[in-house]
Amino acid sequence: MAIELKVPSLGESITQATIGAWLKREGEPVAADEPLVEVESEKATVAVPAPATGVLRRVLRRTGETVAIGEVIAELEEGGAPAAAPRAAAGGNGASTGSTSPSSPRSGEGQGEGTATKRDVEASPSPPRSEADGRGEGAPRHLTPAARRLAAEHGLAGAAAAAGGAVRKEDVLRALEAPRPPVTPGAAPPPGGAESRGAPAPGPRERLVAMTPLRRTVARRLLEAQQNAAILTTFNEVDMSAVLALREKHGEAFQARHGVKLGFMSFFVKASIEALRAFPAVNAEVRGDAIVYKDHYDVGVAVGGGKGLVVPVIRDADQLSFAEIEKTVGELAKKARDNRITMEDLSGGTFTISNGGIYGSLLSTPILNPPQSGILGLHKIQKRAVVGEGDRVEVRPMMYLALSYDHRIVDGREAVSFLVKVKECIEDPERMLIEV
């Protein structure tokens, strides 16, 4: 029995998505709930599972194509047997099961072994199998995970290439470095490319790559944040000596007991919650002509993923222990790297923490994540000379903190006091234990 594979609902207000990498080819067997294809929406990439055990009979939409929610993108044969591979042309009796035109070179002819061209990488996810000469030439290839990620980052729909074996990361790099054919003025642009959406043709030594849906959404939301909020940033610095000493003293025991490292994020999540309780306007949002104050603390943590920066949310962070926060952050970061972040993971945050320090940033002005009214930016820990007690100059591990806030509902006094509260909690972590 034929079963239709449809684009699932990806969240409220999302009406279309983009087909990502096909994880199975036509004719291959699939198991129930096995991932078949990646579908990328404005906010996340999800893997669509097989609705039943069977065979993937037809792929109806290719990688890179835009599809509507609920649209049929493939057909499965429930319980069917895999399609038989085409037989090579029979020899000796003049009969054959197929023929190849002398003027049409076989797939892979004229290329070095194991090398994919840009045209190869951008091929259909399920290309028709050519008649082979008995050596397996012409069989479709699949992309390794590293190659698939790199192809997606550069707007190449990766799924198949010529000449047996897998498409590796090095193959995609060579394809990207290969010179592009010149664009003839007035010529029709290639289908599905950025040119077809009104972008100008690239010049010499330029590459035109269409934005992914996620990148388009990030760009749109950043502009909305700057246009719809009165963003202001205030700064402070914090001495990390106490936190570093605690991690040095209890780090091994913490990991042995909880199975996770004691990182910095749990300290800053806890410190931020203490500050949000003291200054609730930073945890609020503007809704029309009203202010919504929130007595729950769902803290978003910016992490780098396979599709770019995303902000998954730690739910009810005020009710979690240090170990539970570290485990949750680790799980969300892994989901982001594996492109398994869901809409539920990303929605509903009340405050955000962004740690640019892991990339070496010394100071920055983070942009609000609407409709939130506050975002805390963490930065690189750097040893600096500071004046301590008794006017002694000492070398301390220091970090700059930045709080960007919506000045429409957060006053400067509240913002500065918020950062001071965070500073106090980090420089004296015991304050968070006894809630002072």
Could you tell me if 432 and 425 are in contact, meaning their C-beta atoms sit under 8 angstroms apart? yes
For residue 388, the one-letter residue type is G
Could you tell me if 406 and 220 are in contact, meaning their C-beta atoms sit under 8 angstroms apart? no
Active-site residue, selected from the candidate residues 295, 338, 411, 428: 411
Tally of helices (H runs) and strands (E runs) in the chain? 10, 19
Helix axes 265-278, 322-337, angle to 10 degrees: 110
Q: Of 28, 51, 48, which Cα lies nearest the Cα of 36?
A: 48
Residues across the chain: 436
Active-site residue, selected from the candidate residues 154, 258, 318, 407: 407
Q: Of 252, 239, 171, which Cα lies nearest the Cα of 424?
A: 239
What is the phi/psi pair of residue 392, to 5°?
-80, 135
Listed in order, strand segments (DSSP E) in 195-294 are 231-239, 285-287, 290-292
Distance CA 64, CA 190 (A): 13
Distance CA 422, CA 436 (A): 12
Do the strands 374-378 and 351-355 form a parallel or antiparallel pair, or are they unpaired?
parallel
Q: What share of the chain is helix, strand, coil (3-state, %, to 5)?
A: 30, 25, 50
Could you tell me if 282 and 335 are in contact, meaning their C-beta atoms sit under 8 angstroms apart? no
Four-residue CA torsion sign, 54, 59, 60, 65: positive
DSSP H or E segment with residue 369: none
For residue 257, the one-letter residue type is R
Catalytic, 411? Answer yes
Cα angle at 72 between 221 and 218, to 5 degrees?
10
3-state secondary structure of 402: strand
Q: Of 5, 424, 14, which Cα lies nearest the Cα of 217?
A: 14
DSSP class of residue 109 equals T
Q: Of 26, 103, 93, which Cα lies nearest the Cα of 58?
A: 26
Could you tell me if 325 and 333 are in contact, meaning their C-beta atoms sit under 8 angstroms apart? no
For residue 149, the one-letter residue type is R
Give CA 312 to chain center in angstroms: 11
Catalytic, 406? Answer no
**So which residues are the catalytic ones?**
407, 411
